[in-house]
Amino acid sequence: MANTEDNLFKNVISHAKEYGFIFPSSEIYDGLSAVYDYGQNGAELKNNIKEYWWKFMTLLHDNIVGIDAAIFMHPTTWKASGHVDAFNDPMIDNKDSKKRYRADQLIEGVIEKLEEKIEKEIEKAAKRFENFDRAMFVSTNARVVEYQKKIDEINDRLKTAMANNDMVAMKQLVDDLEIADPISGTKNWTDVRQFNLMFSTEMGSVADDANKIYLRPETAQGIFVNFLNVQKTGRMKIPFGIAQIGKAFRNEIVARQFIFRMREFEQMEMQFFVKPGEEMKWYEFWKAKRLKWHQALGLGNDNYRYHDHLNLAHYANAACDIQFNFPMGFRELEGIHSRTDFDLKSHEKYSGKKLQYFDSEDNQNYIPYVVETSVGLDRMFLSVLASSYKEEKLEDGSERVVLKIPAPLAPNKVAILPLMKKDGLPEKAHEIMNLLKFDFRCFYEEKDAIGKRYRRQDAIGTPYCITIDHQTLQDNTVTIRNRDTMKQDRVAIDAVKAIISESVSMAELLKTI
Ligand code: ATP
């Protein structure tokens, strides 16, 4: 991470704490690694992101319904899903720094550096030659060909080692690539070991192995085991989807990037059940739809890109990530996976219960294929927070920090600010608040100079401030200030609701997708 980006990220993190968005968990005991609490403003922003996702799924698609399954599930669920045997990450320690890493991520880091070198060569050449032909250059330039060959070779070895669960081969790759620990700078590594990421606990009062259960590492399985319940009770016809928002838990080996990688986090997942053979059509459909959903927030279309998976998970026949340009670079924000019939088939096998759909049009039974969209709520939160955080220099030489959060997601929509704490201004302000509070989350404040109060609202991303002054008492007008432009207009109290509604409406945002 470059220095300025590093500083920006640090500023975002401290801002999030200072203004009640995110606190370290159990901070009075020095926190708990990779676990965070959402404060008064964070909880509102998080709820609004959930609403944006839930409404998109369940209101805009009449063939998608939502459920809320339990975190605890029968332990065999995780045997059937493959998580007991295969939800592992390869872990490696540096003996000098005593830091722990994921070996696959260290190796992927080498690939990323080679990819950056290729991009640099392309950039240089594109500047030099008119009518630059990227494809031609990539296939003929000796240096680029050499880098690409190296990338393919590393990818092949990584893929084979992961597929064969061969940790000796993983270690050999780390050695051959001469990977050094970024902290100690040494290549003094331990062997690579597999580490299962599921948290387990005991259910009931007898603590033996038979009672061992897991905290779900993904919400998807709660949907798969309820597939027939929902299909039958909802009389759903394929293609249809089941959506869910809920907590998931992973004992991540490396969890150092604030809320990007947590041990307790929230997922917003939708499993879309389709006819076998039609999954690629729906995979492309959801890939495009989900990108549009992200882009509609207006955080900058260039901040998103697709990343197709080369190494597919055991259950998938196609997969890609939507990556976001986080302060530490482009990283996975959402996964879109074509999961085949792997999960339902496996649950059929382990439970002995039929999980098939009767297609009345074709007059046949089949196990549907599944296309899933899975986005981390906390990562969504980070993408919104980090990209809306702005440090601005104003014309008069002063500075402000403003969160330009998309207005429908902002924790508070409007601040009601009586200019003074006397002369009946607070009473009038409360009158206005009572008019607005049923439609918008309002924030009332009467302390400090008005400029200071505006700054505080900027810092928590409130799109509008309404100031009540002596003129208000005479002619029923107020000043309405826009967070982004800082422009102030005198308007009639009767007009306020319409002005605010226009930009903070979730419905209007959803219409743009
Ligand atoms: P990564 O490669 O970053 O570990 P993943 O591919 O394992 O992620 P999925 O299993 O596809 O992630 O989970 C779907 C989504 O859940 C991810 O796109 C991400 O937004 C979110 N997610 C996964 N793990 C975490 C975590 N530890 N903390 C926060 N969000 C997470």
Encode pLDDT of 397-431 as tens digits.
999 999 999 999 999 999 999 999 999 999 999 99
Q: Check if 246 has its Cβ closer than 6 Å to any atom of ligand 1.
A: no
Is residue 37 predicted with pLDDT exceeding 60?
A: yes
User: Ligand 1: which of 221, 251, 267 to mutate, judged by most atoms within 8 Å of the beta carbon?
Assistant: 267
For atom 6 of ligand 1, which residue has the closest CA?
335
**426: Cβ contacts below 8 Å, ≥ 6 apart:** 418, 446
Contact 42, 21 (CB under 8 A): yes
The dihedral built from the CA positions of residue 357, 363, 366 and 370, taken in this order, carries a sign that is negative
Q: Distance between CA atoms of 72 and 269, rounded to whole angstroms?
A: 17
Rounding to the nearest 10 degrees, give the CA dihedral for residues 496, 440, 393, 39.
160
For atom 18 of ligand 1, which residue has the closest CA?
334
Q: Check if 378 has its Cβ closer than 6 Å to any atom of ligand 1.
A: yes
- Please give the distance, rounded to the nearest whole angstrom, from the Cα atom of residue 376 to the centre of ligand 1: 6
**165: Cβ contacts below 8 Å, ≥ 6 apart:** 194
Q: Distance between CA atoms of 65 and 61, rounded to whole angstroms?
A: 8
CATH of the structural domain 1-87+197-298+370-392, one choice from 3.30.930.10, 3.40.30.10, 3.90.420.10, 3.40.50.720: 3.30.930.10
Q: Which atom of ligand 1 is nearest to the CA of 262?
A: 28
Q: Which atom of ligand 1 is nearest to the CA of 380?
A: 20
Q: Distance between CA atoms of 59 and 66, rounded to whole angstroms?
A: 10
User: Ligand 1: which of 307, 310, 379 to mutate, judged by most atoms within 8 Å of the beta carbon?
Assistant: 379
Q: Check if 81 has its Cβ closer than 6 Å to any atom of ligand 1.
A: no
Of the pLDDT bands very low, low, confident and very high (cuts 50, 70, 90), residue 355 is: very high
Encode pLDDT of 243-252 as tens digits.
999 999 999 9
Q: How many CB atoms lie within 10 A of CB 232?
A: 10
Q: Check if 262 has its Cβ closer than 6 Å to any atom of ligand 1.
A: yes
DSSP-derived secondary structure for 442-480: EEE---S-HHHHHHHHHHHT-SEEEEE-HHHHHHSEEEE
pLDDT at 210: 64
Encode pLDDT of 40-82 as tens digits.
999 999 999 999 999 999 999 999 999 999 999 999 999 999 9
Which tokens go with 231? 């299909």
Encode pLDDT of 292-324 as tens digits.
999 999 999 999 999 998 777 778 899 999 999
Percent composition of the chain: helix, strand, coil (DSSP 3-state, to 5) = 45, 25, 30
DSSP-derived secondary structure for 174-234: HHHTT---TTT----B---EEEE---EEE-SS--SGGGEEEB-S-SHHHHHTTHHHHHHHT
pLDDT at 508: 95
Of the pLDDT bands very low, low, confident and very high (cuts 50, 70, 90), residue 161 is: very high
**27: Cβ contacts below 8 Å, ≥ 6 apart:** none
For atom 26 of ligand 1, which residue has the closest CA?
261
What is the mean predicted confidence (pLDDT) over 253-260? 87
Q: Check if 319 has its Cβ closer than 6 Å to any atom of ligand 1.
A: no
Q: Distance between CA atoms of 168 and 196, rounded to whole angstroms?
A: 18
The domain locations on the chain are 1-87+197-298+370-392, 394-511
Determine what percent of the chain is predicted with pLDDT higher than 70.
98
394-511 matches 1-87+197-298+370-392 in CATH topology = no
Q: Check if 265 has its Cβ closer than 6 Å to any atom of ligand 1.
A: yes
Of the pLDDT bands very low, low, confident and very high (cuts 50, 70, 90), residue 346 is: very high
The dihedral built from the CA positions of residue 356, 361, 363 and 364, taken in this order, carries a sign that is negative
pLDDT at 208: 60
Q: Check if 320 has its Cβ closer than 6 Å to any atom of ligand 1.
A: no
> Coil, strand, or helix at residue 408?
helix
**How much is the mean pLDDT over the chain?**
94
Q: Which atom of ligand 1 is nearest to the CA of 376?
A: 20
Q: Distance between CA atoms of 410 and 407, rounded to whole angstroms?
A: 5
What is the mean predicted confidence (pLDDT) over 25-30? 95
- Partners of 331 in beta bridges: 324
Phi and psi, residue 384, nearest 5°: -70, -45
pLDDT at 3: 58
pLDDT at 254: 82
Q: Distance between CA atoms of 374 and 319, rounded to whole angstroms?
A: 11
Encode pLDDT of 176-227 as tens digits.
999 999 999 999 999 999 999 999 998 887 656 568 899 999 999 999 999 9
Q: What is the pTM of this model?
A: 0.90
- B/e letters for 356-379, b = 16+ CB within 10 Å, e = fewer, are bbeeeeeeeebbbbbbbbbbbbbb
Q: Check if 332 has its Cβ closer than 6 Å to any atom of ligand 1.
A: yes
Q: Check if 267 has its Cβ closer than 6 Å to any atom of ligand 1.
A: yes
Of the pLDDT bands very low, low, confident and very high (cuts 50, 70, 90), residue 291 is: very high
Number of H helices, E strands in the chain: 18, 23
Least confident of 200-204, 373-377, 474-478, 490-494: 200-204
Of the pLDDT bands very low, low, confident and very high (cuts 50, 70, 90), residue 502 is: confident
Which tokens go with 206? 């007898």
Q: What amino acid occupies position 138?
A: V
Is residue 16 predicted with pLDDT exceeding 90?
A: yes
CATH of the structural domain 394-511, one choice from 3.50.50.60, 3.40.50.800, 3.30.1330.10, 3.40.50.300: 3.40.50.800
Q: Distance between CA atoms of 340 and 356, rounded to whole angstroms?
A: 14
